[in-house]
Amino acid sequence: MKRTERWLFNHQNKHRALALTCVTLVSTWLSSPVHAATEAQSSSQKPMNILMIAVDDLNHWVGNLNRNQQVKTPNIDALASKGMSFQRAYAPAAICNATRSAMMTGLRPSTSGVYSNGRDWRSVVGPHRSLPAFFKANGYKTLGGGKIFHKDSVARLEEWDYYYFQNKHPETFSLSTEEQAEVDARGPEKNNRYKIGKLPISELAGGDDVLNDYHVARWASAELSKTHEQPFFMSVGIFRPHLPWAVPKKYFEMYPEQSIELPPYKEDDLADLPKGKNKPAVEHTMILKEGGWKRAIRAYLASVTYADAQVGRVLEALENGPNKDNTMIVLWGDHGWHLGEKHRWRKFALWEEATRTPYIWVVPGVTTPNSATETPVDLQSIWQTMANISGLDAPNYVEGENLIPLLENANASWHTPALTTQGYKNHAVRYKQLRLIQYANGTEEFYDHSVDPYEWENLAGQPAKLAPYAADIAKMRNYLPTHNREWNEASKLYGGDPAYAKFKKTKMVDTND
């Protein structure tokens, strides 16, 4: 199928064609993982569709990661059983906007200067240089809904063929006349709203459709039930379990408070940390004082299971529709979430809990059911891998590794650490079973997960204990970013518009008409 080649940096295809005229290179290519993926792609009548599902604030407390068996995530677990689950996947950043901007622009936070939730990625990256724009330029129908970029209102409509704008507020949305009549028919309903510490929680009356995620899933399900003339790139953003932890009461009822298990923790866990990191978060202290630790975890788990239910509806529509056998699926959480570990809540840190997240790939002809790898990778790999599976070359500025070798073989040799950035010059490197954290002021933390899975003993500053790791530490330090840019410097390199320096309120227009 002939594709439209409009992408500025897609000039490398011609060099590939010339190289293939050499018999020796052809032989090498035929035995390579990239060839296997390309062969799977070319065996179809049209390029493989892409379904990308993003779940906001979803940490590694999901069933298939074997981290916390009290959680109920049957649909995510079922998806993992169909393909490759990365058991040690890490976000490019531990904050929503920075990590999503990194994945969707191809530029790590240290490259783009997008470190915070307030920085609009459009101030750094010019038009037509995002992940959906790349696939649109290569002949795909681009469809999006829910939270993909940090704010769906800044999705450039010229980069999407259709974007489902629905979320005016996490708990409100517009209903059709028929839907409103159905809600009214239920009679008066009351929501139980409260706070634990500073965490807003609501046990909502009504069904799944009282939240926007249901309607995003409904839209996606309808699209997946159709036959599309073009291959499609569909992005589905599920907002829960992001705060507020507001989901229907039935999900709270799945988790009786007395059954909730606290995560492993240590009272003096912070004693060996650098200054500024060695005090409990105020919020954690509040929650302990209120006796609300289990209740807060209960609310998070309820929100995770609600999100899982919406993911299930989308996957069921794909399974029962015409696109089942020719669609790759990628599911990710945008970063981790602390639930009291290291005496803190939320994200915004460089430890395991704030950075680790689910990452699942199901690719017909490439992945094997029930496969999993413990090799640490980061989500910056998404663009390179999608492009390679699709037989395309990612633009030459896109950062991240191609995961095809690991998708095909869980035990493939892999030497690239996972990198997470949290603010200017603050980085964590995850390699093998090791984590190195380096802060802007030069202080460090170092952990060996093979003996210390909860990061309770900081080995930095203990020369005798660090000595056996000298070679690995040198490699990890070499992987730290060589440049740490501010956004205005990056804007000059990547064609951004400084007028978008900060997020502005933008009128959302539904492009369905």
With 0-12 / 13-18 / 19 or more C-beta atoms within 10 angstroms meaning exposed / middle / buried, residue 199 is buried
Is the C-alpha dihedral spanning 252, 253, 255, 259 positive or negative? positive
Task: Compute the distance between CA of residue 267 and CA of residue 416 in angstroms, rounded to an integer.
Answer: 34
Question: Are 277 and 348 within 8 A, CB to CB?
Answer: no
Could you tell me the two tokens for 191? 């929501």
Per-residue pLDDT tens digits for 215-273: 999 999 999 999 999 999 999 999 999 999 999 999 999 999 999 999 999 999 999 99
Enzyme catalytic residues: 96, 150
Q: What percentage of the chain reaches a pLDDT higher than 70?
A: 82
Class of the CATH domain delimited by 19-500: alpha beta
Task: Compute the distance between CA of residue 433 and CA of residue 437 in angstroms, rounded to an integer.
Answer: 14
Looking at the predicted structure, is the pLDDT value of residue 454 above 90? yes
Looking at residues 451-463, what average pLDDT do you find?
Answer: 96
Q: Hey, where are the domains in the chain?
A: 19-500
| pLDDT band, very low/low/confident/very high, at 156 (cuts 50, 70, 90) | low
Q: Which of 157-161, 286-290, 507-511 has the lowest mean pLDDT?
A: 507-511
Q: What is residue 255's predicted lDDT score, i.e. its pLDDT?
A: 97
Question: Are 402 and 383 within 8 A, CB to CB?
Answer: no
Q: What is residue 170's predicted lDDT score, i.e. its pLDDT?
A: 37
Is the C-alpha dihedral spanning 291, 293, 298, 299 positive or negative? positive
How is residue 401 annotated by DSSP? Answer: -
Strand pairing partners for 434? 431, 448
What DSSP string runs through 6-33? --TTTTTHHHHHHHTTSHHHHHHHHTSH
Torsion angle (degrees, nearest 10) of CA 380, 382, 388, 393: -60
Per-residue pLDDT tens digits for 198-215: 999 999 998 999 999 999
Looking at residues 464-480, what average pLDDT do you find?
Answer: 96
Per-residue pLDDT tens digits for 430-446: 999 999 999 999 999 99
What pTM was computed for the model?
0.87
| pLDDT band, very low/low/confident/very high, at 6 (cuts 50, 70, 90) | very low
Provide the pairing of β-strand 162-164 with 141-146. parallel
Give the Cβ contact number of residue 453 at 10 Å. 13
Measured CA distances, 451 to 2, 273, 277 (Å): 53, 18, 22
Per-residue pLDDT tens digits for 413-431: 999 999 999 999 999 999 9
Per-residue pLDDT tens digits for 362-407: 999 999 999 999 999 999 999 999 999 999 999 999 999 999 999 9
Q: What percentage of the chain reaches a pLDDT higher than 90?
A: 73
Looking at the predicted structure, is the pLDDT value of residue 166 above 90? no
Looking at the predicted structure, is the pLDDT value of residue 459 above 70? yes
Average pLDDT, the chain: 86
| pLDDT band, very low/low/confident/very high, at 185 (cuts 50, 70, 90) | low
